[in-house]
Each structure stands twice: as structure tokens, then as C-alpha cells.
Amino acid sequence: MLNAERPSLALAPMDGITDAPMRALQGATGAFSYAVSEFIRVSIEVIPAKVFRREAPELEHGAMTPTGMPVQIQLLGGDPERMAKSAVIACKAGATAIDLNFGCPAPVVNRHDGGASLLRQPCRIREIVAAVRASVPHEIPVSAKLRLGWDSIDAIYENAAMAAEGGASWLTIHARTRVQGYTPPVYWQPIGRVRTALSIPVVANGDIWNIEDFRRCQDETECCHFMIGRSALANPALPFQIAAELGIGNCEAPARIDWIPLLQGLLQWNAFYADRAPVRPVMRLKQWLKLASSFGDFPHFDRVKESQSVEELFSRLAEAA
């Protein structure tokens, strides 16, 4: 997990994408310091242990992927008591770190008192963080994921201060507002100002698509902790490149991306988690390749997108190579 004394690179949670099979595959690279689970929503009921184990099977093995990457459990919700009780159950189920989501921009989440909607009520951020922090064992870190604000980038200063006052171990800040969603531009400089103002670590996140973006983000924030998500899948060489710049990890970036072994690796982990991964394998592969086509330089999606089976997809991919 995050160590304030050592640079780190985290795998961002992406709903429906960075599930247990994908976390296992990404953990095998050795580039990531830890991953954050897809958010587990705390609404009208406290989350039972079986849900945590279903959503994060790593909890049954020390909160680590089979490939050795720590996984932090992320909770999303607006009720301090239910969030705290759910965090306690998560810890009893095996969680070694808790993250609180105050950044999700999805309208359905925001309409139901979750994610970025809390950015409009800084005192509630403090209340939720404090409730979780007071309830879980002292050795369990509790972090918070924030955006710069709902509709103003200047909101981050109060929201970050409230999260820190509530007892957050570190903050991860996405460099956009909720109103922006995922549209440009990103604003990295406020993240640097928060890092300077607070005594806890700050993780920079948002629009690090290539190594040049990373260097600019590093220059503007002066952070030593970073989180990437879509870009790690769009450009599988990027985690290696960032890890090398940070002096972490133990693998060299590939000279070229060979998609077939990568996709085969995901299939193997899908099979490993077959009882927890109901999505058709060919759909998982096309999901990844569509992301790589939309946000990276994968050139063959039009050739493979109509594939009806794994075998057909690999055949078309081999023909295109």
C-alpha cells in the first residue's frame, strides 16, 4: 500500500473494467504499488462480508492479488454510520486498507448521495472520514478520493482540508471537477498546492496518457505518488515507463505491445475467477480493445469488433498484425 517515504503508482478503480481478473493481470507487471477496488456502494444497508468477498476475492488471500499486488477496498456512500459499519465488516473480511469515494461523477450515483455529490458539503466529508477512521483498527489506513470540486477547482482546498481533518491517511485527487466529468482540461497545479498545505501524502490522478504527461504532472504537482486507470489499459507500456521514472518496479517497458499475449493473460484470469466473472470472455477482450482504440493507438478495433468468439477475435487480430 502507499508508503509516504517511497514513490508509488496506483491502479485506479474503473467500474466494470478493473475487476479481480484485470487486477491480477496488472499486478503481474510489477509496475503498480497497489490497486483500488471498484467502488462498493453503501446505500440503505450495511454491506455484508459476502459482498466484499465477492467483489474483492483478494480479501481471502491477505488483500493481495494472486500476482502479489495489494488491493485497497473502496466504499461509496453518504451516511457516516453505515459507511463506518461497512468498513468494519470489510476489515473483518480481510481488508487491509479502506478508500472513501468522493469523486465518482456518475449522475445516478450523485443523485443518491454518493461520490462527487459530497464535494458540495465539505463538513460531511470530514464527518464520513472521521466516522470510518474511528471505527476501523488503527493500523488500517483510511484514504479519500476527491475531485477538485463540483463546479469550481477552488473547492479542493476546503474539501481536502476536511478530509485530512477527519483523519485521512492520504488523499487521491482527480484533477477535474464533477461538472467536467472526463472532458479536458485537467488542472494539476491545485493538487500541488494541496500537497504543500497538508501533512499527509497526496496522489495525483487525471489525464496521464503518456510519459510526457506524467512528467508535466510531476513538475506541476511535485507529487511522488500517482494513479492511472484508462491510460494503463490504452497504453500497456505506460505503467512500466512511469515505474522506471519513479524508481519502482522491476520490469522494463516492452519495445512494442503484443496484444495477443496480453489478451490471453486476461482470459486466463477470467477462467481463474470463473465463478465471479459472468461476462462473456469475448466481450471482455473487446471492451479492452475498444478502450485501447479510443484512448490509445490500437489500430485494429474495426477489424475485431464484430468477432463472435474468442477464437474468431484472435484469428482476426493475428491477420491484422
**CATH number of the structural domain spanning residue 35:** 3.20.20.70
CA 150 → CA 86, 97, 146, 178, distances in Å? 26, 26, 10, 5
Q: Which residues, other chains included, contact 93 with Cβ-Cβ below 8 Å and sequence gap of 6+?
A: 49, 52, 53, 59
Which range, of 23-27, 51-55, 215-219, 273-277, averages the lowest pLDDT? 273-277
236 and 313 inside one domain = no
- 276 pLDDT exceeds 80? no
Is 200 strand, coil or helix?
A: coil
234 and 99 inside one domain = yes
Q: How far apart are CA 210 and CA 293, in angstroms?
A: 15
Handedness of CA 205, 210, 215, 217 (dihedral sign): negative
Enclosing H/E stretch for 205? strand 202-205
Q: What is the pLDDT of residue 143?
A: 98
For residue 70, the 8-state DSSP code is B
Provide the number of structural domains found in the chain. 2
- 201 pLDDT exceeds 70? yes
In the set 104, 217, 223, 224, the catalytic residue is: 104
105 and 166 inside one domain = yes
**Residue at 1 is within a domain:** no
**Residue at 294 is within a domain:** yes
143 and 214 inside one domain = yes
145 and 166 inside one domain = yes
Alpha helix ranges (H) inside 111-169: 122-135, 156-165
Report the amino acid identity of residue 259: W
26 and 160 inside one domain = yes
Q: What is the dihedral of CA 39, 78, 155, 33, to 10 degrees?
A: -30
CA angle 225, 17, 183 (to 5 degrees): 65
- 250 pLDDT exceeds 90? no
Convert the pLDDT of each residue in 109-142 to its tens digit: 888 889 999 999 999 999 999 999 999 999 999 9
Please indicate whether residue 104 is annotated as part of the active site.
yes
CA angle 74, 75, 77 (to 5 degrees): 150
118 and 139 inside one domain = yes
Is 226 strand, coil or helix?
A: strand
- 255 pLDDT exceeds 90? no
**Residue at 2 is within a domain:** no
144 and 293 inside one domain = no
231 and 286 inside one domain = no
- 204 pLDDT exceeds 70? yes
Q: How far apart are CA 73 and CA 69, in angstroms?
A: 13
**Residue at 3 is within a domain:** no
Q: Which cell numbers hold the place of 182?
A: 472526463
**Residue at 226 is within a domain:** yes
Convert the pLDDT of each residue in 162-192 to its tens digit: 999 999 999 999 999 999 999 999 999 999 9
Please report where in the chains the cell 493475428 appears, as a residue: 318
Please report which confidence band the pLDDT of residue 317 belongs to, taking 50, 70 and 90 as the band edges.
very high
14 and 56 inside one domain = yes
- 5 pLDDT exceeds 90? no
- 252 pLDDT exceeds 90? no
- 97 pLDDT exceeds 80? yes
Residue 194 belongs to what domain range? 8-246
CB 156 within 8 Å of CB 146: yes
- 217 pLDDT exceeds 90? yes
184 and 101 inside one domain = yes
- 278 pLDDT exceeds 70? no
Of 295, 214, 219, 268, give the one whose Cα is nearest residue 28: 268
Q: Which cell numbers hold the place of 279?
A: 461476462
- 279 pLDDT exceeds 80? no
For residue 72, the 8-state DSSP code is E
Please report which confidence band the pLDDT of residue 277 belongs to, taking 50, 70 and 90 as the band edges.
low
For residue 174, the 8-state DSSP code is E
Boundary residue ending a domain (246, 270, 287): 246
**Residue at 203 is within a domain:** yes
**Residue at 204 is within a domain:** yes
299 and 274 inside one domain = yes
**Residue at 176 is within a domain:** yes
Enclosing H/E stretch for 74? strand 71-76
Q: How far apart are CA 64 and CA 52, in angstroms?
A: 14
